Amino acid sequence: MKTILQIISLAGILLTIVPPILFFLGKMSHSSQNFWMLAGAVIWFASAFFWLGSKEKTENS
């Protein structure tokens, strides 16, 4: 489950990084950039909340 959430979080972070680059290169409009960055931020915070900072359970020897 943690791996799936990490993949979803990666997709969210990519949605916040790639649109500004595409906008800078003239491949995306400003409104589209805003939409995809907002979607990426929501995806990131919704998925990273469940796995970021959680500690793995280890056995005490």
Question: What is the extent of the structural domain holding 33?
Answer: 2-49
The total number of structural domains that make up the chain = 1
H-state helical runs in 1-61: 2-24, 30-51
58 falls in which pLDDT band (50, 70, 90)? low
Q: Is residue 10 part of a domain?
A: yes
Residue type, 26: G
The DSSP result for 39-53, as a single string, is HHHHHHHHHHHHHTT
Neighbouring C-beta atoms of residue 5, cutoff 10 Å: 17
pLDDT of amino acid 12: 94
Q: Is residue 54 part of a domain?
A: no
- pLDDT (tens digit per residue) in 7-50: 999 999 999 999 999 999 999 999 999 999 999 999 999 998 88
Is pLDDT at 2 greater than 90 in this prediction?
Answer: no
DSSP secondary structure letter of residue 30: H
> Coil, strand, or helix at residue 35?
helix
Distance of CA 16 to the CA centre of its chain: 7
